[in-house]
Structure 1
Amino acid sequence: MIVYAIVPARSGSKGLPNKNIKELNGKPLISYSIEFAKRLPSVTKVICSTDSELYADIAKKYGAEVPFLRSPEASIDTAMEQDILIDLKAKFKEHQIPEPDLIVWLRPTFVFRNIDDIEKGIDILKNDTSYTSARTVVSTENRLYKIEEQELKPLFNDFGKSMIRRQNMPSAYTVFSTDIIRFKNKDINDDFLGRKVFPIVSEKICGLDIDDLFDFEVVNAVLTQMESKNAV
């Protein structure tokens, strides 16, 4: 079974300009996902999907292949991940690159991942064809509220109580860093993961996502602390 790791890294970040190549603890952000991908035993190719020659050069420096640049249509602000996947399928055909059976989709704004988690997801899809994909998740707050007409209203049944113990609520999970997608001979659409997704429950640290400067500084602080502990 052929497995590619894809690191999607568009150059047009608005909230934090050039976020994907911004230096984090001395290395560009995309390097963390590329280096992680290269450590996955099941992965045969690591490809960076980007619209930028600069990003491509940086990705190559850290060991990714960039056999083509992403099309403009798949690089605009409103492009969704399915648009990038469709672009990949077309570019693989154009450049005569064999389609992989599976794609490991590594969003570059996540620095922390576990190799065993991802390999587990790959193995599940290899051995159980009933699963349409696999996705990493982390546990999250299960008592969420919305604000409606300047009133705080629960998104759960609060049974008329002002406080409910988290332990008395169903466990909740939020989707995060990595998807493992069936790709070969598959028509990509808005429901590219399908309806039977295997959940890979990861440690909470794997849910640290960099969306803005505050997130960036938090992750940088965590990395710095981890590095200092390892040096002791």
Structure 2
Amino acid sequence: MYNNKKILAIIPARGGSKGLPGKNIKPLCGKPLIGWSIEQAQASEYIDEIFVSTDSTEIATVAESFGIKVPFLRPSELATDTSPSSAFVLHTIAYYRTKGQEFDYILLLEPTSPLRDVDDINIAIEQLLNHNTAKSIVGVSKVEATHPAFLVNISKEGLLKPYLEEMKVLRRQELNDLYFFEGSLYLSETDYYIETQSFYHNLTLPYVVPKYKSYEVDDIVDFYIIEKLLELKLNNILK
């Protein structure tokens, strides 16, 4: 609880990953991938309840080994490749309401972003709940090598064409700052999420993370990169 507001953390973990099968429970620096997000949520004094949303008995068993009760598996219709994330979030909110439990805010922590810290969670909560108008906050990171100024198209003739107005390579110092949604955390006022069914809208704050924390596990290459970054972080080389 923070500022007398109750917070529910939802950790989504489907069993059917195609890019890296079994990724949510794949061992990463000594613990299953999902374990990093569970322990980060457990370390936050602001979070009142942690719910793991999964369609996999194997993932549920791993979550329970970290002290998280998984009262049911996510319905199959909410666990397909095309199921919107809002569906299982709304389903989770509805489940708690049937139990008479209300939460003022919901926090979504993807297991695929293990490089976040509990400090990231706590600071994001503080920033949103102390803001006068914002209804949500999401993780973003600064665009660097993929800045639009560096992008080109290939014409029908096989020639490079600038994505922007002219073929001009700028120095990074000359670029306007742009950010991308990096996925490490999503926090919203519960009622506003139910209304919009999204963490993204005109009342969304940015929570800016450094480049290394923006890496997500989508495939085996990502996994090995993150494994090395996590090793550096655990050895206090990355801050």
TM interval, shorter chain, is: 0.7 to 0.9
What residue in structure 2 maps to residue 82 of structure 1?
Answer: 86
Q: Quickly say closer, same or farther: Cα 1:151–1:68, change in 2 above 3 A.
A: farther
The CA deviation string for residues 149-207 of structure 1, in whole angstroms up to 9 with x for no partner, is 455444434xx343111211111112121111111475254534332111111122210
Q: 1:153 to 1:86 in 2, by over 3 A?
A: farther
SS of aligned partner of 2:194: coil
Q: Which runs of 5+ in 1 are unaligned?
A: none
1:195 to 169, 189, 202: 202
The separation in 1 between residues aligned to 2:212 and 2:100, in whole angstroms, is 35
Q: TM-score, structure 2 length as denominator?
A: 0.85
Q: Aligned residues, how many?
A: 227
Counterpart of 1:115 in structure 2: which amino acid?
A: V
What are the equivalent positions in structure 2 for 1:60-99 lying under 5 Å apart? Answer: 60-94=64-98, 96=99, 98-99=101-102
The counterpart of 2:224, out of the listed 195, 209, 217, is: 217
Q: Secondary structure at the match of 2:108?
A: strand
Q: How far has the Cα of 1:31 moved from its partner?
A: 0.3
Q: Kindly provide the CA deviation profile for residues 84-121 of structure 1, in whole angstroms up to 9, marking residues without a partner as x.
A: 21221232234x15131111111110111133332222
CA RMSD across the alignment: 2.2
1:128 aligned partner:
131
Given the alignment, which residue of 159, 164, 167 partners 1:156?
164
2:174 to 158, 168, 179: 168
Superposition misfits of 4+ residues, deviation over 6 angstroms: none
CA–CA distance in 1 between the matches of 2:201 and 2:119?
Answer: 23
- 2:7 pairs with 1:3: yes
Q: Secondary structure at the match of 1:187?
A: helix
Give the AA of the match of 1:206. Answer: K
CA gap 1:194/1:64 in 2 versus in 1, 3 angstroms? farther
Q: 2:23 aligns with which of 10, 14, 19?
A: 19
Which residue does the alignment assign to 1:181?
188
The unaligned stretches of length 5 or more in structure 2 are none
The answer (yes or no) to whether the contact 1:8–1:48 under 8 Å persists in 2 is yes
How many Å separate the matches in 1 of 2:234 and 2:77?
40
